[in-house]
Amino acid sequence: MSSKLEMLKKERLKASQAEKPKSKKNQRLYGALLITISIYIAFYLYKRDSILAIAWIFSLGFGFVLQKTRFCFAASFRDPFLVGSTKLFRAVLIALIISSIFFPMIQFPIHKAGVSDYFSLAGLVRPVGIHTLIGGIMFGMGMVVAGGCVSGALTRVGEGFLLQFVVFISISVGTLFGAMHYKFWENAFISSAPIIYLPDIFGYTLAVVIQLSALIIIYYLAYKYHIKRNTMI
Amino acid sequence: MEYKVLDCLYEICPIPLLKANKELERMHSGEILVLLTNHNCAISNVVEWAKDKGHEIDYIETGEGEWEIFIEKK
């Protein structure tokens, strides 16, 4: 840290506190209240249906992690192009690597029990085709312009960033339209597209090995790209 | 102390970063840019980016949910 920045920091901090003194409002009471209410809701849901309580607790956990880490899927796919940073992109890759190891462990017993219906397997095994590409491009453009994907927008709504309220309303309206027109897309593209499930082609072990190798290679390339983009300028 | 203020309040990610990048290109080495933001992603985003680029960087919270980021150009 340079001394110049250190001085400026002190100067600006003083000025900002003179302008509008930081309120000493303690938010711990609100926090305790929220946690109590959350626990109460969890118990209430558990009595009705235990899966709802689990979903509730996991949702709170996800929200907490997303907010505290400032993890952002929009940034993870945008920053490699925009500023050449692949840090978040590599974080997504690590998430995929972890899922690639553990999802087959869940899917294998189900598959082995004689379930051949892909929709009953854990995880989203769905048809892949031109609709995947078009949807991805549209969603990608939308989330970069809106400044966040669905989880990102939700997190920021919770933080009180007003603009994301508008984004969240737009997401809701868009999802509604999507649901309305889903039958058309399903008949036109999705139903005729193939489902590619690697374990069916290679067997579970080889499929996991292939997927992990591919992900690790992408990780390595992303890392190289990061180094290259951030040392040239 | 001399510094340039860049107002990015109410701007969504990644506008603060792009504006800072543009501004820094016009500045000379050793000059300081003060970026105002109320978007907490700008903290991680801009700070990480500036560190990667080799600029000196620090930030303070000036109000509830408002920050000032200081960047000294490399």
Mean pLDDT across the stretch A175-183? 93
Residues A16, B68 contacting (CB under 8 angstroms): yes
Phi, psi of A6 (to 5 degrees): -60, -45
Mutation pick from A3, A8, A143 vs chain B, by most beta carbons of B within 10 Å, is: A8
Question: Is a pLDDT exceeding 70 seen at residue A155?
Answer: yes
Q: Taking residues A128-156, what's their average pLDDT?
A: 90
Radius of gyration of chain B (CA): 11
Question: Chain A: nearest CA to B13, how far in angstroms?
Answer: 5
User: Residue B33, exposed/middle/buried by CB under 10 A (0-12, 13-18, 19+)?
Assistant: buried
CB–CB of A70 and B41 under 8 A?
yes
CB proximity A233 to B under 8 Å: yes
In this predicted structure, the answer to whether residue A58 has a pLDDT above a threshold of 90 is yes
Closest-CA distance, A89 to chain B, in angstroms, reads: 13
CB pair distance less than 8 Å for B34 and A159: no
Mean pLDDT value of segment B51-69: 87
Is the distance from CB of A155 to CB of B13 less than 8 angstroms? Answer: no
Q: Give the DSSP per-residue string, A96-158.
A: HHHHHHHHHHHHHHHHHTT---GGGSSS-----SHHHHHHHHHHHHHHHHHTS-HHHHHHHHH
Query: CB-based contact (8 Å) between B58 and chain A?
Result: yes
Q: Rounded mean pLDDT of A171-198?
A: 90
Are the Cβ atoms of B14 and A82 closer than 8 angstroms?
yes
Chain A CB contacts of B52 below 8 Å: 85, 230
Greater confidence, A199 or A32?
A32
More confident residue, A187 or B1: A187
Closest in B17, B45, B56 to A5, CB measured: B56
Instruction: List chain B domain ranges.
Output: 3-72
The partner residue sitting opposite A2, judged by closest CB among B39, B63, B72, is B72
Q: Mind listing the pLDDT tens digit for each residue in B22-54?
A: 999 999 888 899 999 988 888 888 888 888 888
Choose among B40, B62, B72: nearest Cβ to A159. B40
Q: Which two tokens stand for residue A1?
A: 């840290």
Enzyme catalytic residues of B: 13
Using pLDDT thresholds of 50, 70 and 90, give the confidence band for residue A22.
Answer: low
Order of all β-strands in the sheet with B32-37 = B4-7, B32-37, B66-72, B56-63
The pLDDT assigned to A24 comes to: 66
pTM exceeds cut of 0.90: no
Phi then psi for residue A132, to 5 deg, are: -65, -45
How confident is the model over A89-109, as a mean pLDDT? 92
Q: Which helix (H) or strand (E) holds A106?
A: helix A87-112
Q: Between residues A229 and A209, which one has the greater pLDDT?
A: A209
Q: Per residue in A67-87, pLDDT tens?
A: 888 888 888 999 898 888 898
Under CATH, which number does the domain B3-72 receive? 3.30.110.40
Q: Is the pLDDT of residue A175 over 60?
A: yes
pLDDT at A112: 82
Banded model confidence at residue A23, pLDDT cuts 50, 70, 90: low
pLDDT of A18 above 80: no
Q: How confident is the model over A38-64, as a mean pLDDT?
A: 94
Chain A nearest C-alpha distance from B70 (Å)? 7
